[in-house]
Amino acid sequence: MERLLQGFALTADTVRRPVLTGLDLIPTYNLKAVVKETGIKPDTLRAWERRYGLPEPERTAGGHRLFSRRDVDTIKWLMSREGEGLSISRAVELWRRLVAEGRDPLQMDKPDNQLSGPSAISPIPQHAGEIQALRQAWVEACLSFDENRAGQVLSQAFALYTPEVVVLELLRKGVVEAGEGWCRGAQAVEQEYFASELARQRLEALMVAMPPATRSGRILSAAAPGEVNTLHALILAFLLRRRGFDALFLGNNVTVPHVQATVSRLQPNIVVLFAHRITSAANLLDLVEVLHPLNVPAGYMGAVFNMLPALRDRIPGHFLGEELEEAVVTLEELLSLPSQPMTLPAPVEAYQHSVFRFREAQASIEADVWRLMNLDSGQYDQLSAANERLGDVIVAALRLGNIRLLGTQLEWLQCLLDYQCFDPDLLRQYVAAYHEAAESRLDNRAAMVTDWLSDLAGL
C-alpha cells in the first residue's frame, strides 16, 4: 500500500470530510437489486461482509439485508479497484486508510455538497493540482518511453480518484498534451503514439473487468472511417459502460461496409461517430447516409465540429456536444425519448461537379505548385505532404457541400499540412502558388475552389 501512495504527499489542504445526505444512508435496496445494479455475485458480497466488514448493510426483522445508496456505491468502488489490479484486501485497506485521513473515497473527487445523479458525471476534483501533477508525471514518463513509470503513476491516480476522473483528467488530457508537443515540433510523433497506446490498453483492461449492463439501450461508438484518433470513441464507450449502458467500441480502422454489417446485426439504439478532421467528417457523412435506410439514428462529435460549428448543419443526426461529459448526458436524454427519423440533406449538384473537376486537375495543379515554389530537395517531404493534405481538405469540404466551411484564415492550416508547422511566410507563399496553379487548371465549374483559394491567399 505504501508503494501505491509513494511520491504523492498528502497535505492539510487535500483533506476533506465526507459529505453525506440522509438519502445516502437509508437502507433501501435488497440483495437482488444490488446484484442487478453492480453485477457482483451474492457469495462474493457475503464474503466481503464477513471477512472485511464492507459494506455494512442493515438487516430486517427477518434477517434480510438492506443496503443504502452508500453501500451500493461502496461495492462499486471496491469492484473498480479490483478491476485496476488491487486485491480485495488491498482495496479495503486503501478505503480504510483514506477514511482515516478524512478523505471519503466516494466524495473526494466531487465538489462539496454535490450529489451524484443520473445526469452527473465525475467532475474535475476540487483540488485539481493533484491530478494535474499526476498527469504531468504520466506525460513525462510516456515521452521518455518509460512504460513502468507510466504504470506506477496510473496506479497512484486510480488509488486516489474514480476511474472517470483518471480517464478524463489524466489519460485524455495527457494524450492531448503529448499531441500538442508533436505539432509544435517539440517531440517525435512516436511519443504521442506511445502515450495513446498505453491509454488504450488501460481503458480496454478496465472495460473487460466491468459488470454486465444494467440499463436498457445499446450504443455503438466508433471513429469515422479514415480517422486516426480513436481514443475519444473508446473513452465514450468506457464512460457509458460505467453508467450501466451496453456500449460497444467498434475498434480501429472501421470501414463503411464494416459498420453497416455490424449495425444490421446488432440493431443498436444509436451509433456515435467521431471525426477530428474535415476529411473524416466527409467520411462520417457517407456512413450516416448508409445508416439512414437501417432506421438507426446517428450521433456525432469531434474536434472538427468544435472548430467549424457551421459543419454541424451538414450532418444529419444529433450533435452530442463539444465535450465527452456532455455527450454522456445527451445520450441518456436521447435514449429516454422516442427515436426520430433522420432527414438527409439534398446533394448540391454544383459541388458534385466541383469535386469531379478538381480531382481531374489535381495532379496537374500539384505539379505546377512544385514548379512555382522552386524549393530545395530538403523541403521535398514537407511540400509533398502539404499538397496531399490540402487536396484532401478541398475534396472533403466539397463533399460536405460548402467549401466556405473552411474559412479563410491561415492559422488552422499550420498543423494540418505537415507533422511540424509550416513557417508562416512559407505557408503564404505555398497558398499563393496553389491558387495560381488552380486558376490555370480549373474552369468555371470549379470557380468556388479558386475563389476560396484567392480569399485564403489574401489576393
Q: Say if residue 416's pLDDT is above 50.
A: yes
Q: Say if residue 36's pLDDT is above 50.
A: yes
Check residue 85 and give its pLDDT.
65
Give the residue among 274, 271, 266 at the shortest CA–CA distance from 232: 274
Average pLDDT, stretch 167-180? 87
Pair (38, 68) in one structural domain: yes
| Chain segment 362-398, per-residue pLDDT in tens | 999 999 988 888 776 666 777 777 788 888 888 888 8
Give Cα 276 to chain centroid, integer Å.
Answer: 10
**Residue 182 · residue 188 · CB < 8 Å:** yes
Pair (221, 337) in one structural domain: yes
Pair (167, 256) in one structural domain: no
**Rounded to an integer, what distance in angstroms lies between the CA atom of residue 321 and that of residue 298?**
13
Q: Say if residue 321's pLDDT is above 60.
A: yes
**Using CA of residue 9, residue 14, residue 15, residue 19, what is the dihedral sign?**
negative
Q: How far apart are the first and last CA of the chain?
A: 66
Grid coordinates in use for 81?
Answer: 479497484
Q: Say if residue 346's pLDDT is above 70.
A: no
| Chain segment 83-140, per-residue pLDDT in tens | 766 778 888 888 888 888 777 887 654 433 333 333 344 444 444 568 889 999 999 9
Check residue 272 and give its pLDDT.
96
**Rounded to an integer, what distance in angstroms lies between the CA atom of residue 85 and that of residue 91?**
9
**Residue 170 · residue 131 · CB < 8 Å:** yes
**Residue 123 · residue 110 · CB < 8 Å:** yes
Average pLDDT, stretch 151-177? 89
**Residue 301 · residue 274 · CB < 8 Å:** yes
Average pLDDT, stretch 177-181? 73
Q: Say if residue 20's pLDDT is above 80.
A: no
Check residue 300 and give its pLDDT.
94
Pair (373, 431) in one structural domain: yes
C-alpha distances out from residue 241 to 153, 326, 391, 405, Å: 24, 15, 39, 35
Q: Identify the domain boundary among 193, 212, 231.
A: 212
Pair (55, 88) in one structural domain: yes
Q: How does 106-139 read in b/e, with b if 16+ C-beta sit within 10 Å? A: bbbbbeeeeeeeeeebbbebbeeebbebbbebbb
State yes or no: cis peptide before 55, omega within 30 of 0.
Answer: yes
Q: What is the CATH number of the domain that holds 39?
A: 1.10.1660.10
Question: pLDDT > 70: what percent of the chain?
Answer: 80
The domain of 300 spans: 214-345
Instruction: Supply the mean pLDDT for the chain.
Output: 80
**Residue 143 · residue 187 · CB < 8 Å:** yes
Q: Identify the domain boundary among 345, 364, 397.
A: 345
Pair (246, 340) in one structural domain: yes
Compare 5 and 401 and report the one with higher pLDDT.
401
Q: Which of 210-214, 373-377, 415-419, 439-443 has the lowest mean pLDDT?
A: 415-419
**Residue 446 · residue 357 · CB < 8 Å:** yes
**Rounded to an integer, what distance in angstroms lies between the CA atom of residue 43 and that of residue 45?**
5
C-alpha distances out from residue 372 to 382, 387, 438, Å: 15, 13, 12
Check residue 182 and give its pLDDT.
52
Compare 359 and 124 and report the one with higher pLDDT.
359
Q: Where are the alpha helices (DSSP H) in 189-318?
A: 189-208, 231-242, 256-266, 278-291, 303-307
Pair (221, 341) in one structural domain: yes
Q: Say if residue 220's pLDDT is above 90.
A: yes
- The SS3 of residue 199 is helix
Grid coordinates in use for 244?
Answer: 450501466
Q: Identify the domain boundary among 329, 345, 361.
A: 345
Pair (296, 271) in one structural domain: yes
Pair (83, 139) in one structural domain: no
Kind and range of the H or E run holding 351: helix 349-373
Q: Say if residue 410's pLDDT is above 90.
A: no
Give Cα 21 to chain centroid, integer Å.
Answer: 33
Pair (218, 315) in one structural domain: yes
At 248, the pLDDT band (50, 70, 90 cuts) reads very high
Check residue 93 and give its pLDDT.
85
- The SS3 of residue 220 is strand
- The SS3 of residue 123 is coil
How many independent structural domains does the chain possess? 4
Q: What is the CATH number of the domain that holds 227?
A: 3.40.50.280
Q: Which of 31-35, 169-173, 175-179, 217-221 has the lowest mean pLDDT?
A: 175-179
At 79, the pLDDT band (50, 70, 90 cuts) reads confident
- The highest-confidence range among 61-65, 226-230, 372-376, 440-444, by mean pLDDT, is 226-230
**Residue 425 · residue 311 · CB < 8 Å:** no
Q: Say if residue 5's pLDDT is above 90.
A: no
Grid coordinates in use for 394?
Answer: 478541398
Q: Say if residue 14's pLDDT is above 50.
A: no
Pair (183, 254) in one structural domain: no
Q: How does 252-284 read in b/e, with b if 16+ C-beta sit within 10 Å? A: eebeeeebbebbeeeebbbbbbbbbbbbbbbbb
Pair (155, 94) in one structural domain: no
Give the residue among 240, 227, 235, 229 at the shortest CA–CA distance from 202: 235
Compare 58 and 117 and report the one with higher pLDDT.
58
At 1, the pLDDT band (50, 70, 90 cuts) reads very low
